[in-house]
Structure 1
Amino acid sequence: MEYRFFGRTGVRVAPLCIGAMNFGNPTDDAESMRIIDRAIDAGITMIDTADSYNHGESERIIGRALARNGRRDQVFLATKGHFPTGPGPNDRGNSRLHLIRACEDSLRRLQTDHIDLYQIHRPDPNTPVEETLAALTDLVRQGKVRYIGCSTHPAWRVMEAIMVSELKGYARYVSEQPPYNLLDRRIENELLPLCQAHGLAIIPWAPLAQGVLAGRYTDITAPPPDSRVVLRGGIYAERVTARGIEVGRAFAALAREHGLTPAQLAILWVKDQPGVTAPIVGVRTLAQLEEILPVLEMALSADLRAACDALVPPGSAVVDFHNTAGWMKMRIA
């Protein structure tokens, strides 16, 4: 397997990351732990979660799993803070008050003395970036956090944070975690080139386009009963459109023509895009993990890359996966 440097750090990670959003709901403790054990056995080194995933249960499950298997030191453990963790006005956002509390709570749930990558889950227009970075720097200096990063930030905010860190000697973002898949390629226009130029790792979420590129949807009026569209609705339902399903069907046919499952090709495409470090794969079951593990050893051919570009051209989108990002003004009809 080709291990990749995590941005301009000296850390190497596998080219796939396990996303833990499903841990605790719908994936129960036992299956989550089997997924974690199998992923580590296969050489996957990074697990990504957040304090807001299932009210902290995702972090608790990971903490129990790593305490049980004794393999904490084999994992590059990432979590995030920003979203509400309680009813109070300061139980959210990117203020010093909230982030230090949130980080310490995550440490307890994860049963660890340090977080390898602590990420700002979304921008906070009401908090100066200097306050956020100063708090994160203190966490790094205290040994509670090894590296810091951000998620679903516009390119200008990433650049602003880099420059403030350089000017004030604060800890510097080493990664960005954006939505990225064949149905929404807009980060190729500014964010990806920025991160390549300044040495930030890219760890994209939603590489399967919420299952659309895995062939799970065939009709907009009949989503799978166990899909996020049915179970969670809202923002998840907005990401499944008739146009996206149409492209998904063509993509699935292309995958099968090349001897791959649609899920394998979707993840392979993201993994081998320029600038990408490791796509985050939010598997629900051990069987789903087993299906995508062969991608660790695959490479995307030039012919297959061109065929994917013909479906959705570089830099464009047919579905809006930035629908939780208030800064993204362009919406997909």
Structure 2
Amino acid sequence: MQQRYVGASGLRVSRLGLGTMTWGTGTDEHEARDQLIAFVEAGGTLLDTAHIYGDGASEELLGRLLGDVVPRDDVVIATKAGFGVRRGQPTYDASRGTVLTALDLSLRRLGVDHVDLWQMHVWDDRTPLDETLAALDIAVSSGRASYVGISNYTGWQTAQAATWQRAVPGRAPITSTQVEYSLVNREVEDEVLPAARASGLGVLPYSPLGKGVLTGKYRTGTPSESRGASEHAGMLEGYLDERGRGIVEAVVRAGDGLGWTPLEVALVWVRDRPGVTAPIVGARTATQLKGALGVEGKELPPEIRAALDDVSESA
């Protein structure tokens, strides 16, 4: 698998990342092992997790597999802090003490002495930005993280954080931003992507398949085992409307013409967008993951890319 530099940094990662959000909860150890083996054998290196995933279960499971399935130094481990759940309610807390404690817990679960990329999961209005960014500096200076990034920041938040870190020599520069980005959700193109480009940040899109909608599996209804049929069905609001259906049909037609699956069309479109370093792909099974790994070597013809651009902008 082709490797790319993350923004203007020296960090290199595979141009697809493996998301582990369901590991330890919806994905058991046997299935996670098969996914990791398939990913590494395909040349993948970027493994994405977070402090909140499965309340730490994702990091713990990844930690058990590291060294067994793949040598630690052969992969790039990315995790996040600042987003949690307290008494069943989501909490945003990017205060220095909270996120550094979370980082130490992440290292313990993963069984490593450092992560390659540590990201602030969300913007926290109640914590001064300089305090949050000071935690990034401490993480790098103490050797607990090699690079640092942000996630789910708006355009102005991205620019402010990146500018602050580059204003004074010795601060840890922001390396990347992780944001939702797909054919059915191109909102980041307005402000976030220009801010990332101007600041030299790599972009790591999550939900590149529009939460599964772009695979075409919802065209004729909602499969009983799908996300749309679960308690997370509200997450698909706005993806299954008339606009979303129009985009999906365009993706399906493009796939039919190329002999590709809809998944391959949608994933290649995101992977090769300007500024994108590596989409993060999550899967319930190794079989599903292998369908995504099959995009290596594929490129969309310019006319099909232009048609998808048009329908997703105007639909």
Question: Normalising by the residue count of structure 1, what TM-score does the alignment of the two structures yield?
Answer: 0.89
Distance 2:135 2:87 in 1: 22
**Unaligned 5+ residue runs, structure 2?**
none
| Per-residue deviation, residues 232-263 of structure 1 (Å, max 9, x unmatched) | 32542425422213421332122121111000
User: Secondary structure at the residue paired with 2:136?
Assistant: helix
Distance 1:51 1:86 in 2: 13
Distance 1:186 1:88 in 2: 29
Residue 281 (1) aligns with residue 290 (2): no
CA shift for structure 1 position 295 = 1.2
Cα-Cα RMSD: 2.0
Distance 1:58 1:255 in 2: 33
Contact kept, 8 Å, 1:92 with 1:98, in 2: the verdict is: no
Residue 290 (1) aligns with residue 290 (2): yes
Q: Please tell me the residue identity of whatever aligns with 1:20.
A: T
Contact kept, 8 Å, 2:156 with 2:195, in 1: the verdict is: no
User: Secondary structure at the residue paired with 1:50?
Assistant: coil
Distance 2:68 2:238 in 1: 37
Residue 205 (1) aligns with residue 206 (2): yes
Q: What is aligned with 2:148?
A: 148
| Per-residue deviation, residues 28-54 of structure 1 (Å, max 9, x unmatched) | 111111101111111011010111111
Q: Please tell me the residue identity of whatever aligns with 1:223.
A: T
Within a 5 Å distance, the mapping from 1:57-96 to structure 2 comes to 57-84=57-84, 86-87=86-87, 92-96=92-96
Q: Which deviates more, 139-148 or 289-298?
A: 289-298
Contact kept, 8 Å, 1:79 with 1:118, in 2: the verdict is: yes
Q: What is aligned with 1:166?
A: 166
Q: What is aligned with 1:189?
A: 190
Q: Which deviates more, 188-197 or 138-147?
A: 188-197
CA shift for structure 1 position 135 = 1.2
Q: What is aligned with 1:259?
A: 259
Q: Please tell me the residue identity of whatever aligns with 1:241.
A: L
User: Secondary structure at the residue paired with 2:215?
Assistant: coil
Distance 1:290 1:117 in 2: 25
Distance 2:50 2:234 in 1: 18
CA shift for structure 1 position 190 = 1.8
Distance 1:224 1:88 in 2: 28
Q: As a proportion of its length, which structure holds more strand?
A: 2
Within a 5 Å distance, the mapping from 1:91-240 to structure 2 comes to 92-168=92-168, 169-219=170-220, 222-233=221-232, 235-240=234-239
Within a 5 Å distance, the mapping from 1:314-325 to structure 2 comes to none
Q: Please tell me the residue identity of whatever aligns with 1:285.
A: T
Q: Please tell me the residue identity of whatever aligns with 1:128.
A: P
Q: Please tell me the residue identity of whatever aligns with 1:301.
A: P
Q: Which deviates more, 183-192 or 263-272?
A: 183-192
Contact kept, 8 Å, 1:183 with 1:209, in 2: the verdict is: yes
Identity of aligned residues (%): 38
Q: Which deviates more, 92-101 or 168-177?
A: 168-177
Q: What is aligned with 2:303?
A: 303
Q: What is aligned with 1:325?
A: none
Q: Return closer, same or farther for 1:52/1:199 CA change in 2, 3 Å cut-off.
A: same
CA shift for structure 1 position 275 = 0.7
Question: Normalising by the residue count of structure 2, what TM-score does the alignment of the two structures yield?
Answer: 0.94
Q: Return closer, same or farther for 1:147/1:79 CA change in 2, 3 Å cut-off.
A: same
Distance 2:222 2:115 in 1: 37
Q: Which deviates more, 40-49 or 248-257?
A: 248-257
Contact kept, 8 Å, 1:51 with 1:85, in 2: the verdict is: no
